[in-house]
C-alpha cells in the first residue's frame, strides 16, 4: 500500500481510479495530482506512446501503483472489453474520470455527411456513456459506492464558429452527467462534470503564449491568467473526494470567469 496522502484529500489514499486520456494535457495533470493524493491509477491512452510513458514515469516516481491500458474509443466495440480489463487490475474501481476526448474544428457545411461530427460524438460522448454505465453497473452489483467525473468544457455552455461537433458532444456530456446522477444516486454512485476554460496544454502552449493571443484571451478572462492542468487535477480530486460527498449532478465550471461575462461590448 502506498504512503502518499494529500493534505486536502486524505480520503483518496488507495482509491482505485481510472483516468482516460492520461497521456497528455489535462489527463496528465490529473494523474499527477491524484498520484500525490495516493490513488492507485489505471491510465488510458490511445496513440501517444511517448506521452503515456512520461505520465507513468512521473507517477511511479511518487511510489504509486499504476497500470497502462490502450484503447481507441472511436471504435466503440472495444470499449466494454477495455473497461473489463481496467476493472480487473485492482479487483475493482472506486472512481472513473472520463477525460479522453477529441477537439474537432470544422464548419458544418464542410462536414456534409457528418463524418467529423459522428467521430467526435463517439469519442467524447458515447464512449463516456459506455464506460459510465459499465462502472455504475459493477458498483451496483457489488453494493459499492463510486464516483464518476466527466471532463466537459465551457463549449458545452457557450460556443462559437467551427465547434458544432465539439460543443454538441460537451453539451450532451453535461446533460448525461445530470441524468446519470439522478438515476444512480440511490446506488451510491455520484456523477459530476468538470467544465474547463482555456488551459494551455502541449499542443497549444506556444500559440496561447504569443503576445497577440495573450492580449486576446487574458483580456476576456476576468482573473487575467490561463488555467493549468494542475488546476484541473485539483478540481478532479475535489470531485472524487468526500469533500463533495453530497454533490452530484453538478457542472463545475473552472474558466477564470471567461463565460460569466457574456458577449457584451467592453466598457
Pairing of strands 16-19, 40-45: parallel
Q: Which of 19, 57, 59, 55 is nearest to 37 (CA)?
A: 59
45 is catalytic: no
Residues 248/125/236/47 CA torsion (nearest 10 deg): 160
Indicate which residue of 45, 166, 226, 238 is catalytic.
166
Rounded to 5 degrees, what are φ and ψ at 5?
Answer: -145, 150
Rg (Cα) of the chain, in Å, rounded? 18
- Distance between CA atoms of 147 and 192, rounded to whole angstroms? 8
Residue reference for cell 492542468: 229
- Which residues are part of the catalytic machinery? 166
Amino acid at each position: 500500500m502506498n504512503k502518499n496522502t494529500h493534505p486536502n484529500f486524505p480520503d483518496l489514499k488507495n482509491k482505485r481510479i481510472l483516468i482516460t486520456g492520461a497521456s497528455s494535457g489535462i489527463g496528465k495533470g490529473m494523474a499527477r495530482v491524484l498520484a500525490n493524493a495516493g490513488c492507485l491509477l489505471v491510465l488510458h491512452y490511445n496513440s501517444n506512446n511517448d506521452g503515456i510513458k512520461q505520465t507513468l514515469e512521473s507517477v511511479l516516481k511518487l511510489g504509486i501503483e499504476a497500470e497502462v491500458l490502450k484503447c481507441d474509443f472511436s471504435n466503440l466495440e472495444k470499449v466494454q472489453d477495455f473497461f473489463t480489463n481496467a476493472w480487473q487490475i485492482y479487483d475493482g474501481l472506486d472512481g472513473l474520470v472520463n477525460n479522453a476526448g477529441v477537439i474537432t474544428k470544422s464548419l458544418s457545411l464542410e462536414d456534409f455527411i457528418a463524418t467529423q461530427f459522428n467521430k467526435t460524438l463517439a469519442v467524447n460522448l458515447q464512449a463516456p456513456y459506455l464506460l459510465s454505465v459499465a462502472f455504475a453497473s459493477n458498483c451496483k452489483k457489488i453494493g459499492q459506492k463510486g464516483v464518476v467525473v466527466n471532463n466537459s468544457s465551457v463549449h458545452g455552455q457557450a460556443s462559437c464558429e467551427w465547434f458544432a461537433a465539439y460543443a454538441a458532444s460537451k453539451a450532451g456530456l453535461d446533460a448525461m452527467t445530470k441524468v446519470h446522477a439522478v438515476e444512480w444516486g440511490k446506488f451510491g454512485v455520484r456523477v459530476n462534470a468538470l467544465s474547463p476554460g482555456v488551459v494551455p496544454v502541449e499542443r497549444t502552449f506556444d500559440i496561447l503564449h504569443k503576445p497577440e493571443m495573450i492580449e486576446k484571451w487574458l483580456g476576456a478572462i476576468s482573473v487575467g491568467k490561463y488555467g493549468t492542468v494542475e488546476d484541473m487535477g485539483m478540481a478532479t480530486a475535489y470531485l472524487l473526494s468526500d469533500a463533495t460527498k453530497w454533490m452530484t449532478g453538478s457542472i463545475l465550471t473552472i474558466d477564470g470567469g471567461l463565460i460569466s461575462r457574456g458577449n457584451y461590448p467592453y466598457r
